[in-house]
Structure 1
């Protein structure tokens, strides 16, 4: 039986709030389902609340609102936070991504989250509403 997890996009006001919303959608109040892109990808692979057989759907309602909240401004904020922790070899790439996000260009956090879901789950798992 397919399990459906509903992300209420109207509740996503930034990246930190996204982690809370998706955690609660999958694992109930206070639930965890990643707190950064890498751990989110790990959770999507199984063992963190989704069915072992992988038979689940992520229905992202009001995704357009989430897309705005996780847009270029939030992407730039996230990238600025990474600068202080990044390996020096990654700094040129991060600075370039930050400059692009600051100019309203390039992929956003929303784009990246969609990419992670699509990469880590079977086709058709993600339903944008």
Structure 2
């Protein structure tokens, strides 16, 4: 039986709120399902609430609203937060990512989340509504 996890995109106001919304969608109130891009990818691989046999669907409802909340402004904020803990070799790439985000260019956090879901789950798992 396919399990459906519904992300209410109208509740996503930024990346931190996304972690809460997806955690509760998968694991109930107060649930955890990642709090960073890498941990989110790990959770999607199974064992953190999703069925291990990949028999689940993620319905991202009102995804357009989430796309706006996780757009270039939030992406720039996220990248700025990486500077303090980044390896010096990564700083030029982060500066470039920040400049792009501040200019309204390049991939957004929403784009990255979609990419992670598509890479870590079976085809057809993600449904944007």
State if a TM-score over 0.5 links the two structures.
yes
Mapped to 2, the partners of 1:79 and 1:53 lie a distance apart of 34
**Partner-residue secondary structure (3-state), 1:75:** helix
Alignment of 1:1-129 (within 5 A): 1-129=1-129
Unaligned runs of 5+ in 1: none
Mapped to 2, the partners of 1:87 and 1:16 lie a distance apart of 23
Mapped to 2, the partners of 1:51 and 1:106 lie a distance apart of 33
TM-score with structure 1 setting the length: 0.99
Mapped to 2, the partners of 1:93 and 1:51 lie a distance apart of 36
Mapped to 1, the partners of 2:104 and 2:75 lie a distance apart of 10
Q: CA deviation at 1:53?
A: 1.1
Mapped to 2, the partners of 1:53 and 1:44 lie a distance apart of 11
1:60-89 deviation digits (Å, cap 9, x = unpaired)? 000000000000000000000001110000
The more displaced of 6-15 and 50-59 is 50-59
**Partner-residue secondary structure (3-state), 2:124:** coil
Mapped to 2, the partners of 1:43 and 1:95 lie a distance apart of 29
